[in-house]
A and B are shown apart, each in its own frame.
Chain A
Amino acid sequence: MAAKIKRRNPIVSHIRLLIESTKLNLYSAMEYKFNFIMYALGMFINDIFWLALWFILFTRFENLNGWVFKDILLLYSVLTVSFGIVFSLFGSGKLDYYLTLPKNVLFHSSLKMSYSAVGDLLFGLALAPFAIGISDIPLYLYFLITGGILFFSITLIFNSLSFFIGSSERLGGIAFESILSLASYPLSVYGGITKFILLTLLPAGLISGIPVQVIRRFDLTWFLLTGAIAIVFLTVAILIFYKGLKRYESGNLLYAKD
């Protein structure tokens, strides 16, 4: 009599959830087509402006401690594609709704699409053919994954601060923007202690600068270190999230999922 409960592998079921959620997000984007196009196109144009600034600078100065304009193209491609992938798939949702559901609460509550991130993603992909050759693709993909993990982890750490200090949205936003800004400039302009910090505590250099250097001239140490540090950041971020979740007290918030 008892119905057979079919148990799926949890990893497979979460991947299915990701696919279904992305589909739903895309349907929703198509429902609000004008808004979706405006956000994505707006961000695409926004990114073109940044590139224009670098074009102007390199027209005048040609070389920044060994970096040329093609390196900037690669830097922006890695930066915007890894950012675009992460925030096209993940974003912060309302926690209460997901606490009672059977899927992993962190994973489930993070499934939200940012329309503007799609613009970043398209911009970075459009840039890639001008920045890398076919033989660079495996390394490029590897650094998209490490960059994506770092972006996700940093966002999770800043968002989890809310568990400990109350509303941290603005603080987290400024800190995230600062890391994004630091990652948007050639690593060659930083030196000494700053460079050390950007490659460890605030890993802006690992998101974009190191990928450019390793893709241009392979370095096994930095290749492995980037992956290792990304995993360390992800582990720490998850630990902080669950530590914070234990402290979480809800005000019996009742709402319909948007």
Chain B
Amino acid sequence: MKIRKYSAISKIEFKQGFQYFFDFLLSAFFIVVILFVFSNLWRTIYGTKATIDGFSIGMMIWYLAFTEAVTMGMGWRSLFETVSDEVKNGTVSNYLTKPLSYVGWHMSKGFSKFVITFVTVLFISSVLCLLLVGPISFSYFQIIPLIIITLMTFILSFFIGMSLSLLAFWLEDVTALYWILQKGLFILGGMLIPLDVYPAAISKYLTYLPFAFIVYGPGKYFVTGDISVFTHTLIGQIFWVSICAGIMILIYKLAIGRLNIHGG
């Protein structure tokens, strides 16, 4: 009996894997378009300049490839949609009777998706970057620190995403919040353009916001390998993870307190 049960679960996982694979291919198509547009844009901006604010054109494109992979991996859209649906149709109550945490369930699922999507998108965009601008210098010693801050990126992004998704208990539909949060990450977090390129009067404040520790910090470390960028990013991540975890737990407790379940 046990074998049948586990083989059924394996089959489901396998099918889901294929479903994701098609999504990856489609996401890959979109990232090809974005990288292509930005390589054109940066070529126009760079003209004959070798570097802008310490970034060569190659570093700019590789930076974008990394930050895009992180952003796609985070899966904020799917998290917002799922939580919103579960609140609207009441399935959120199914989790409350089980010996598992609602937030923990989504975090575990989100982590698998993050790893698969991040690795796949980064691989595909790396191939494209090699074709568009060639390689950039990357040391093997960067790998471990990069893994650490990328994992912290997932945790921070999940806590922020979940905190706002849980507002569905009050608002029901949180799609508009997702748009604003996503654009906040794009612009305030320096996802498309590193914060170094922004006017100094703005960037000196933006580098301390949580968005910067999700994309800008890890992205900059990826292309520069600068250890001071790594330490600054990791400290900022630890600080914001603690703050955001507290906020998320508070919102969750308030949200669950609002829930009325009528048997059934």
Contacts and interface: CB of A to CB of B under 8 A. Distances in A.
Verify that A and B bind, or say they do not: yes
Interface of A: 34-35, 38-39, 41-43, 45-46, 49-50, 52-53, 56-57, 59-61, 64-65, 116, 170-171, 174-175, 177-178, 181-182, 185, 188-191, 194
Interface residues on B, range: 20 to 34
Interface stretch (B114-122, B152-160, B173-181): B173-181
B192 interface: yes
B171 interface: yes
Given A42-B175, A60-B197, A185 B180 contact: no
Give the secondary structure class of B's interface.
helix
Interface in B160-182: 171-173, 175-177, 179-180
A38 B37 contact: no
A52 B26 contact: no
A182 B36 CA distance: 10
Contact of A174 (B29, B44, B199): B29
Nearest to A178: B33
Interface stretch (B4-12, B60-68, B183-191, B240-248): B183-191
Contacts of B180: 42, 45-46, 49
B192 A53 contact: yes
A60 B202 CA distance: 12
A182 B37 contact: yes
B40 interface: yes
Nearest to B28: A174
B202 A56 contact: yes
Interface of B: 22-23, 26-27, 29-30, 33-34, 36-37, 40-41, 43-45, 171-173, 175-177, 179-180, 183-184, 186-187, 192-193, 197-199, 202
B246 to A, nearest CB: 26
Given A38-B171, A189-B41, A174 B176 contact: no
A243 B69 CA distance: 39
Nearest to B41: A189
B14 to A, nearest CB: 20
A65 B44 CA distance: 7
Given A38-B171, A56-B199, A64 B45 contact: yes
Given A65-B44, A181-B34, A190-B40, A49 B176 contact: no
Given A42-B180, A43-B179, A53 B197 contact: no
A45 B179 CA distance: 9
Given A56-B202, A60-B198, A182-B37, 11 more contacts: A35-B172, A38-B173, A39-B176, A41-B176, A46-B183, A53-B193, A170-B22, A174-B29, A174-B30, A177-B30, A181-B30
